[in-house]
Amino acid sequence: MLVAPSMLASDFSHLADELKKITDGGADFVHLDVMDGAFVPNISFGAPVIAAMRPHTALPFDVHLMIRHPKKYVADFAKAGADIVSFHVECDDDPDEVIAEILSHGVKPAMVIKPNTPAESVFPYLDKLYLVLVMTVEPGFGGQSFMHGPLLKVRQIKEKNPSVLIEVDGGINAQTVLECARVGVDVCVAGTGIFKAEDPAAVIRQLQAAGR
């Protein structure tokens, strides 16, 4: 299992130190949650903050856009250093246009579905996507409890396209990650469980070991 610590749970006053902590701890990606206060009822950080973080780690930046109109911001996040840009199938833009915009900047496209959105909603786009993020909590806030129902969608998407990576985000811990591994999840996002741990590296290793 690849592990993508979510910077939403980090100490924003020491971002460089927090990035070093997870880089030295063996993380695979850095997960960056971008919220616009409209698509979700919360605001986090934008491209300038991500650009400021970029020099402090060589890990791939996995940028999750929780915004209504992702297309017009893709260039900003690509320039800031995003390696993967994921956007919601529920957004207000045309998904094909957003994917084309992401690809035009040499970034890997990914799509996100909320817990109550059917897996079928991403099927038309799977051949163009690097990754699908299946939310196991309602997007917008960290620290929520894991929802088991969305894991059924992981199986459905994998059956449709076994080569696309499946990521899950929300309520991931030592127990829930085992359920995720059993249904074929490739990448897990974890925030509070890593950044609030006494030994973040040990937590990262434990999550990575799931499914081996």
pLDDT greater than 90 at residue 109: yes
Mean pLDDT of 97-111: 98
2-41 pLDDT, tens digit per residue, is 999 999 999 999 999 999 999 999 999 999 999 999 999 8
Taking residues 59-70, report their average pLDDT. Answer: 97
- For 18-24, which contacts have Cβ atoms below 8 Å and span 24 or more sequence positions? 18/195, 19/53, 19/56, 19/57, 19/59, 20/56, 20/57, 21/195, 21/200, 22/57, 22/59, 22/194, 22/195, 22/200, 22/204, 23/57, 23/58, 23/59, 24/201
Would the pLDDT of 211 be above 80?
A: no
The answer to which of 14-28, 47-61, 132-146, 169-183 has the lowest mean pLDDT is: 132-146
The answer to whether 105 is annotated as binding is: no
- Residue 171 in marked binding region: yes
Share of the chain above pLDDT 90, in %: 87
Q: What percent of the chain has pLDDT over 70?
A: 97
Asked if residue 212 has pLDDT above 80, the reply is no
| Residue 170, pLDDT score | 86
Which domains are present in the chain? Answer: 2-209 (3.20.20.70)
Neighbour-count burial for 119-155, b at 16+ CB within 10 Å, e otherwise: beebeebeeebbbbbbbbbebbebeeebbeebbebbe
Considering the entire predicted model, what is its pTM? 0.95
Are 105 and 81 in contact by the 8 Å Cβ rule? The answer is no
Predicted confidence at residue 145, as pLDDT, reads: 79
Q: What pLDDT does residue 144 have?
A: 65
64 is in an annotated binding site: yes
Q: For 135-159, how does the pLDDT look when each residue is reduced to its tens digit (9 = 90+)?
A: 988 876 666 678 888 999 999 999 9
Catalytic (active-site) positions: 33, 169
Supply the angle between the helices 15-24 and 200-209 in degrees, to the nearest 10: 50
**What does the pLDDT read at residue 180?**
94
Mean pLDDT of all residues belonging to the chain: 95
